[in-house]
Amino acid sequence: ILNVEQSPQSLHVQEGDSTNFTCSFPSSNFYALHWYRWETAKSPEALFVMTLNGDEKKKGRISATLNTKEGYSYLYIKGSQPEDSATYLCASMNTNAGKSTFGDGTTLTVKP
Amino acid sequence: KAGVTQTPRYLIKTRGQQVTLSCSPISGHRSVSWYQQTPGQGLQFLFEYFSETQRNKGNFPGRFSGRQFSNSRSEMNVSTLELGDSALYLCASSLSWGGLNEQFFGPGTRLTVL
């Protein structure tokens, strides 16, 4: 059974703090990892699609790294802003390309 | 560019009934994936369609089915509804199938089964 775990479950930070979350996934037959941001009352928004070991991707103040050999990915947010408050989800695809397994997400709250 | 649209947005059904949900992808996107989100199970993959063919299927019973039309619009059907089918159903479109492209999600259909 494929298990994708995210930690921490929730995080409260002050505006301006930098933060990071972890996504752990099975390393065997890895195919791709997706990161999403899901704000309340909105649809999930794609952040990154990562496939190669050692991949590093960046979008504004958000960046992500990927280690497929040990099965983890980190998401970093530099200088958190209140608008970064959301649940951040990762989804792993192993063996069956296109069949995603999602983690439960990390809920970030950024206080002004 | 118009985003992914889903209809209806809200639906109330009773046990034993069937339901059909619709998803229109972003223009030019040929892959549509469906997901179920429940408080207890989180977000779970249902199936993915590309060029009118189901490419991947999640671990759901046969009561859950789908199809895709030549214009890439997709429908999913749930027959013999159970209370546990109450959930938010999301669809997402992407350029191609297989998970190497970004997925763009619709607003979802909230299904309540009484």
pLDDT digits (tens, 9 = 90+) for B44-97: 999 999 999 999 899 999 999 999 999 999 999 999 999 999 999 999 999 988
* A23-31 average pLDDT score: 91
- On the question of pLDDT at A3 being above 60, the answer is yes
**Residues of B with CB below 8 A from A97's CB?**
56, 97-100
Check residue B1 and give its pLDDT.
66
Does residue B100 or residue B75 have the better pLDDT? Answer: B75
* A88-93 average pLDDT score: 94
**Residues of B with CB below 8 A from A102's CB?**
42-45
Nearest C-alpha of chain A: how many angstroms from B16?
28
Cα dist from A56 to A100, B23, B98, whole Å: 21, 33, 21
Other C-beta atoms lying within 10 Å of the C-beta of residue B79: 14
Chain B interface mutation, best of A25, A45, A87, A96, highest count of B Cβ atoms under 10 Å:
A96
Q: Within the 29-68 window of chain B, which residues sit less than 8 Å (CB to CB) from chain A?
A: 31, 33, 42-45, 48, 55-58
Which residues on neighbouring strands pair with residue A13, listed in sequence order?
A110
B99 vs A98: CB contact, 8 Å cut-off?
A: yes
B22 interfaces chain A, CB cutoff of 8 Å: no
Nearest C-alpha neighbor of B73 from the set B57, B56, B52, B54: B52
Please give, one letter per residue, the 3-state secondary structure of B67-111: EECCCCCEEEEECCCCHHHCEEEEEEEECCCCCCCCCEECCCEEE
Nearest C-alpha of chain A: how many angstroms from B109?
11
Nearest C-alpha of chain B: how many angstroms from A51?
8
- On the question of pLDDT at A1 being above 60, the answer is no
How confident is the model over B104-113, as pLDDT tens digits? 999 999 999 9
**Residues of A with CB below 8 A from B107's CB?**
42-43
Q: How many residues does chain B have?
A: 114
Provide the strand spans (E) within A1-112. Answer: 5-7, 10-14, 19-24, 30-38, 45-50, 56-59, 62-67, 72-77, 86-94, 100-102, 106-111
A99 to chain B: closest CA residue: B56
A11 interfaces chain B, CB cutoff of 8 Å: no
Among A14-18, A50-54, B60-64, B82-86, which stretch is predicted with the lowest mean pLDDT? A50-54
- On the question of pLDDT at A96 being above 70, the answer is no
* A44-65 average pLDDT score: 95
Q: How many residues does chain A have?
A: 112
The answer to whether A102 and A25 have CB atoms below 8 angstroms apart is no
Q: Letter for the amino acid at B98?
A: G
Classify strands A86-94 and A100-102 as parallel, antiparallel or unpaired: antiparallel
Check residue A2 and give its pLDDT.
63
The answer to whether B75 and B22 have CB atoms below 8 angstroms apart is yes
